[in-house]
Chain A
């Protein structure tokens, strides 16, 4: 097990991403943050706090549950639990920044984009993630990345946040040698 990011690294990455998000659009008004449950919503709340601190602007914050948009209901073998989506602002004509902890196959982001457009027509959808671990199965890339980490498909990247896990840390758990193969089609949700 390797620690990829410690608490200070996470803090700096969030501060940088918050700056990038505002810098990219020039004007923070018209941006909204939507975190993907469960941990993307924690990260999105921290990004909102960072933008408030640096820019004095309160970005609208939402939380998205993508369970009903997954493409693997038959494969996971048990009934997935649906959590509430909370998007209390109109997404029409806004720049919506989707926020997730780890970008892996891209299937979660595909599902999140499908879910988001059911709420309206954003001007643009962007993607911010704390860790990009590669192995995309769909043509999706992140606009803002905390850290790029080379992994093998069967490795496990675990993100811990104080709000849910009691500590801030990202760790890489290596798969046992010989286990798994590229393109095994797993979904990180």
Chain B
């Protein structure tokens, strides 16, 4: 198949073939990352603007390393210390990005849908690096790559996603990437941190909800722990972090309920001792460091694919 997309905004409308193409390309990029010189000239002369209106360290650095491994020039715009702090509107920022000659804009924004707004008004390709609670497509793809490498074909595999699903763009992107590959997802976590429709049984195809962590993990093929944001407690959605850790935290005993050697993933940064125990995070099942490397490879694959898609004139 030929890659046709100009933007990567979410994987919710992607075909299985498109997802597999990106994963296969990512494997080729992993080989580049294993070379003595981790740099190829593929995107020489291209400019990748990293527009991070919401704080992020790992995703930003991952994209930056990916762009550099392809020899692209990178510029970084963050909210703090930029004119966004002075009240510049998103549209003005977008016009500036265009004027800067960005070939690809990688953007993170606290507002769901912001990358769509930008993509409609800019000639550059746009990659969503996380928008509000909506989507984080590169995380979904790197989780899929990590799981596919560990488990082989994902069809019929049951993946548990445990934690704060309600506020998690990672959970949504994992669903939209893993389900087309044939996996089923068991969501698990406090009902207060589950979208109400999902909690009430109106779940997307291939997805189930089980409040009980032990039951959800029984016989599972893998688990993805989500980061618990401490501010959720202030909002009254959780009684205490300790209770959360006891009920839904990944302990050694709990992960042992899965299939032998079933892997453990976490998008990071981790709250060790809350959603995941240190012994699990750094134990033999953990693929958390592998996810970091795979993240760079997935982002390289997407940058390269988008750079090969002809640009279309868009009125800004």
Contact = CB atoms under 8 A, between A and B. Distances in A.
A-side binding surface: helix, strand, loop or mixed? loop
B25 interface: yes
B27 interface: yes
Nearest to B24: A81
Contacts of A82: 25, 28-29, 301, 304
Interface stretch (B35-43, B193-201, B216-224, B272-280): B35-43
Interface in A71-101: 73, 76-86
B305 interface: yes
B42 A79 contact: no
B37 A118 contact: yes
A91 to B, nearest CB: 10
Contact of B41 (A81, A114, A119): A114
A189 interface: no
Contacts of B39: 118
B2 interface: yes
Interface stretch (A23-31, A61-69, A174-182): A61-69
A115 interface: yes
A120 interface: yes
B309 interface: yes
B28 A79 contact: no
Interface string A113-142: 011001110000000000000000000000
Interface string B267-308: 000000000000000000000000000000000010011111
B313 interface: no
A69 B29 contact: no
B70 interface: yes
Interface of A: 65, 67-70, 73, 76-86, 114-115, 118-120
Given A68-B41, A84-B28, A118-B40, 15 more contacts: A68-B32, A68-B40, A68-B42, A68-B70, A70-B42, A73-B42, A78-B2, A78-B308, A78-B310, A82-B301, A83-B28, A84-B31, A85-B28, A85-B32, A120-B36
19 contacts: A68-B70, A68-B304, A73-B308, A76-B308, A77-B310, A78-B2, A78-B309, A78-B310, A79-B304, A79-B308, A79-B309, A80-B308, A81-B25, A82-B28, A83-B28, A84-B28, A84-B31, A85-B28, A120-B36
